[in-house]
Amino acid sequence: MESIWQETAQLPRFVQLDKDIRTDVLIIGGGIAGILTAYLLHQSGIKYVLVEKNRLCSGTTQNTTAKITCQHGLIYHKIVKSYGLETAQRYLAANRAACHLYAELCKKVDCDYEIKDNYVYSIDNRKMLEAEIEALHKMGVSAVFCDRINLPLQTAGAVKFPRQAQFHPLKFLAAVCKDLNIYENTFVREMIGTTAVTDRGRIIADSVIATTHFPFINKHGSYFLKLYQHRSYVIALENAQSLDGMYVDECKTGLSFRNYGGHLLLGGGGHRTGQKGGNWQELRRFAEKAYPQAKEKFRWAAQDCMSLDDIPYIGQYAKRTHNFYVASGFNKWGMTGAMTAAMILNDRILGKVNDYADVFNPSRSILKPQLLVNGFEATKNLLTISTKRCPHLGCALKWNAAERSWDCPCHGSRFTEDGKVLDNPANAK
């Protein structure tokens, strides 16, 4: 089960660390957030090392739908309500800066970068769409309300952001990472302050950045309460619809659409990790009705870290962890989230003031409704009687029949039938 990106691109290989080294900055985690952070540090002349426990981009990055957009669902009216108009404007500005940097970098890279309009639609909630448009207009954004969109389903309308983008993420990253200081198959087994212990060497660093999808240190930051993980599914169809943009349902369990290379990428079937959901079967049922002549060529699944308030956690890992930083909780928008993180963390390492950093502060208030949901799920599954338990914090594992894996409903760790870790925060090789 490989994504269309894996089938159509090849990343360079890097050696395993086999000695003790010193560096100014250690980046742990070789997905898009780690690679972009390493790239910007490299451009800034900072001494850094990136380590990845497997191969680069072997997790969520290779399974994205690869949309580069400032429009992250119907988020802006929520930010305005929770944090005020200025914070919403700065969140938008940060993501616009990320989109702009992608555009500049993609001029130098053959990565199928295309300008596309982005649409967030709702099946039945026109009032939420209108609330989003109202908030965007207050922010000075020229978003457009669309009564009808070019999809084979009934909607209550959509909010359109013009001139966003899509690309091939692995072609892009293959070019970006080729000259970087990277070690693959280098698993950090222990952190002693800012020194990382691996199987064949230690890395003594002045600063550490964790870009490991789910933050791996439990005793700081309370990320086991601040994050949960959500799975979603994609099928790539031949002989299906050719779209004039990118489309996504405002509901986390809804459908998304975009084209790539003669294929329609149909996403959806989502559910909280460890719970039941529609998975690929839901997508196939929709495709059979909407695109009866289409043929499925690829299928894959992704897992996303979801924050309490739909804003990523980027910055100091916790209040007391000086020189230790994190980037996580991209809420299904990892392309712009990763670039935003790289820019903020690069400035942090350089000692520069970043105008947007406090919007993403990982130590902001956790008093949000989602906290109660996360706490309930953890308590329920900790008390569930089961012989299969997650080594992360001991929650009962649930069998995922669609993907033949044991999944943790508390924090999203996943395991093969014989117990090998597929997804963190459970931390093993």
Q: Which residues contact 410 (CB under 8 A, 6 or more apart)?
A: 224, 228, 274, 377, 378, 381, 382, 390, 392, 393, 395
Q: What is the CATH number of the domain that holds 385?
A: 2.102.10.10
Confidence (pLDDT) at 428: 66
Tokens, residue 35: 């690679």
Which DSSP helix (H) or strand (E) runs through 379? Answer: helix 369-383
CATH of residue 202's domain is 3.50.50.60
DSSP state of 287: H
Other Cβ atoms less than 10 A from the Cβ of 134: the count is 14
Amino acid at 52: E
Final residue of a structural domain among 360, 384, 401: 360
Residue 242 pLDDT grade (very low, low, confident, very high; cuts 50, 70, 90): very high
Tens of pLDDT, residue by residue over 40-51, are: 999 999 999 999
Residue 24 lies in a domain: yes
Say yes or no: 301 and 181 in one domain.
no
Quick one: 176 and 284 in the same domain? no
Same domain as 345, residue 316: yes
The CA-atom distances, in angstroms, between 417 and each of 79, 280, 303, 364, 404 are 41, 20, 18, 38, 7
Of the candidate ranges 278-282, 359-363, 383-387, the one whose mean pLDDT is the lowest: 383-387
One domain for residues 190 and 331: yes
pLDDT of residue 100: 98
Whether 80 is covered by a domain: the verdict is no
Residues 204 and 343 in one domain: yes
Tens of pLDDT, residue by residue over 205-215, are 999 999 999 99
CA distance 101 to 309: 25
Do residues 240 and 290 share a domain?
yes
286 and 315 within one domain: no
Indicate the number of domains in the chain: 3
- Say if residue 245 is in the same domain as residue 374: no
Q: Please answer whether residues 204 and 195 qualify as being in contact, where contact means their C-beta atoms are separated by less than 8 angstroms.
A: yes
Which pLDDT belongs to residue 387?
A: 84
- Joined together, the tokens standing for residue 80 give 């305005």
Residues 325 and 387 in one domain: no
What pLDDT is attached to residue 195? 97
Q: Is residue 33 part of a domain?
A: yes
| pLDDT (0 to 100) of residue 427 | 79
Is residue 252 one of the residues assigned to a domain?
yes
Asked if residue 199 and residue 177 are part of one domain, the reply reads yes
The more confident residue out of 425 and 100 is 100
Report if residue 426 sits inside a domain.
no
Q: Please give the structure tokens belonging to residue 409.
A: 């409903």
Supply the pLDDT for residue 383: 86
Residue 259 has pLDDT above 60, yes or no: yes
Task: Tell which of 306, 328, 346 closes a domain.
Answer: 306
Residue 245's CB is within 10 A of a number of other CB atoms, namely 20
Residue 163 lies in a domain: no
| In a domain? residue 89 | no
* Number of C-beta neighbours around residue 304 at 10 A: 25
Summarised one tens digit per residue, pLDDT across range 51-72 is 999 999 999 999 999 999 999 9
CATH number for the domain that contains residue 257: 3.30.70
Domain that holds residue 292: 228-306
Q: Are residues 191 and 300 in the same domain?
A: no
294-326 confidence digits (pLDDT tens): 999 999 999 999 999 999 999 999 999 999 999
- What's the average model confidence in pLDDT over 9-31? 98
| In-domain check, residue 108 | no
Q: Which of 290, 306, 322 is the last residue of a domain?
A: 306
Q: Which DSSP symbol is given to 107? A: T
Give me the pLDDT at residue 419, please. Answer: 86
Strands 202-210 and 324-328: parallel
Residues 295 and 255 in one domain: yes
Helix (H) or strand (E) holding 157: strand 157-166
Mean pLDDT of 267-278: 94
**CA within 13 Å, CB half, 146:** 20
pLDDT at 429 over 80: no
